[in-house]
Amino acid sequence: MTSRDNFGATTAADEVLDGIDLSGKLVVITGGASGLGQETARAMAAKGAHIVIPVRDMAKGEAAVVAIKASVPDADIELMECDLGKMASIQFFAQAFLVQHDRIDLLINNAGVMASPHMTTGDGLELQFGTNHIGHFQLTNLLMPALLKAAKNVGMPASSISVRAAIISIRCILTTRILKRGIMTNGSPMARRRPPISCSPSVWKSGWRARAFMRWPCIRAVSGPISVAI
C-alpha cells in the first residue's frame, strides 16, 4: 500500500485506493460523467463501491458509464438526473435519491464550471458561484438525512489552486453585474476554502466529517487536504 506521506501530483487514483475495499459502500460523485469525476467513479467502482452519478446530460452520463465498464466490466453505477445550476432540479434529485437509498457513505462534490463567460444560473446567480458552491451547498444539505445514517460520513468538496488568486464581489454573485477582466471566475474556489460553512447548523452537532481536497491539477493531488473535524 502506498503511504499517504508519498501522495502527490503524480499519484494515480488506483494508488490512492490501493488496499481499500469499498464493497457495500454507496458513493455519490457529482461531475462523474467526465474528467476527474469519471476517473474517481472508475477507480472506486473497481474497489466494489456502488456509484451514483448525478448528471445534467443523461446521454453524456450513459457514454461515461460505457467507458468506465470498458475498464471495469462489473462496475455498479447508477445515473440520476440533476442540474446543479437549478435549485428545483437539485430538490427533485434529492427527493428521488432518498426514496431509493437510505444512506450515503461518501459524497464527493466534484462538479464545477470554470472560467466561463459571464452567465447566470436558472435562479439568477453568477454561473460559476451558483453551480460550484451554492448548488453543492443545496445538494449536501438536502442529502443530509442519508449522510447522517452512515456509520462514518465524509463529504469532500473539491476546490482549486486558483483560490490563490481569487477575488470575490458579493454584488457580482447576486446580480448580473460584470467584473472587468473576468475576475469573478475565481470567486467560487475562494468561497469553497472553508467547507464547514456549506453545511446546516445541525451538522456541527452530528459528528459528521468534512474534508476538502484541491481539485487542480487533479484528484491525484490528495497530499494537501484541508481536513476539518466537526
pLDDT tens-place string over residues 203-229: 444 555 544 443 333 333 333 333 333
- pLDDT of 24 above 70: yes
The range of the structural domain enclosing residue 176 comes to 4-225
Contact yes or no for 78/62 (Cβ under 8 A): no
214 in a domain, yes or no?
Answer: yes
- What's the pLDDT at 78? 98
- pLDDT of 200 above 50: no
Q: Quick one: average pLDDT of 154-169?
A: 53
The grid cell for 227 is 481536513
Q: Quick one: average pLDDT of 38-49?
A: 97
16 in a domain, yes or no?
Answer: yes
23 in a domain, yes or no?
Answer: yes
In the chain, the number of structural domains is 1
Give percent above pLDDT 70 in the chain.
64
Of the candidates 40, 33, 32, the one whose C-alpha atom is nearest the C-alpha of residue 13 is 40
- pLDDT of 175 above 80: no
* C-alpha–C-alpha distance, residues 32 and 183, integer Å: 27
- pLDDT of 134 above 80: yes
The DSSP code for 49 is P
Strand partners, 169: none
191 in a domain, yes or no?
Answer: yes
- What's the pLDDT at 141? 93
230 in a domain, yes or no?
Answer: no
Q: Answer yes or no: pTM beyond 0.75.
A: no
